[in-house]
Amino acid sequence: MRLCVRSLKTAATEIRMWVFFLSACAGGAALLYVLYSWLIPAAVQYNASLALLWHDVIVERVLDRITGSTRPQRLLRAVQKKATQGDPQSVIATIDHFCRHSEWAMNVGDEKGSILDSVVTELNPSSALELGTYCGYSTVRIARLLPPGSKLITLEFNPAYAAVARQVIAWAGLNDKVQLVEGPSGDLIPQMKELFGVQTFDFVFLDHWKDRYLPDTKLLEECGLLRKGTVLLADNVICPGTPEYLEYIRNSSRYESRYFKSHLEYTKVEDGLEKSVFLG
């Protein structure tokens, strides 16, 4: 009888230990979820370095390892699952929702995207160049606004990004307006006239490696690809920042520049676009 009572007490103790352990695990999991989903994202909203570290390094690497996929691939899956095929605006809205509610990505974003839209609409370019395709978000924003017969050439250095961007552009139904070219901008810009028969560009959107903004702008000048009135629009001039480019473009007599204050995509960190008109 005593043995039976002792066994029951031991079993009860073990049950309490397991309940405590499982409760602690559940509580820890809940705390981690709250930290990951709300507290940390809210805490880094106003700090540039922390926002980029959290979203563009920590979260991306963790999700890559957990899912066995990349951020661009996850973004593409969201587009293919939720966006209406052949509808550019649906593709844009789907990516914005993904980046705000599922996983941040360094697109130009919805807030600065509206500024990009207004510049493209006002200019109504027949020939446009984009430096830095990434997943094709800004490519879709630009191409959907181009008049019939216009062409957007977009350059992407990373083959994996280019592979995703091609599918995003195709899903938006914009293949006829976009020419995506893989390779370093420094190598491709001098070949624009030979490869594509482009004499000059009406519009250039800079959104690639920030240390390439200035050398590529000078290369566009040297290759005669800018005409009087060509508009250059540069993203992320504050965050992560392009100080050498801004110093050059704002102090050159060959440009008339204006800064559009905004925020780093999907955060409250200050960022902006620099619009520069080439004066010849």
Residues labelled as active-site residues: 207, 210, 235-236, 265
Q: Which residues are annotated as a binding site for S-adenosyl-L-methionine?
A: 108, 138, 156, 207
Find the length of the chain. Answer: 280
Residue 189 · residue 220 · CB < 8 Å: yes
Residue type at 212?
Answer: R
Q: Which residues are annotated as a binding site?
A: 108, 138, 156, 207, 210, 235-236, 265
- Pairwise CA distance, residues 33 & 29, whole Å: 6
SS3 206: strand
What is the signed CA dihedral for 139, 142, 144, 147, rounded to 10 degrees?
-130
Q: Which residues are annotated as a binding site for substrate?
A: 210, 236, 265
Helix (H) or strand (E) holding 278: strand 270-278
Asked if the bond preceding 240 is cis, omega within 30° of 0, the reply is yes
Residue 72 · residue 161 · CB < 8 Å: yes
Burial class from Cβ neighbours inside 10 Å (0-12, 13-18, 19+) for residue 172 reads buried
Range 200-221 burial, b when 16+ CB lie within 10 A, else e = bbbbbbbbbebebbbebbebbe
Total Cβ atoms within 10 A of residue 196:
15
Q: Which residues are annotated as a binding site for Mg(2+)?
A: 207, 235-236
First to last CA, the chain: 102
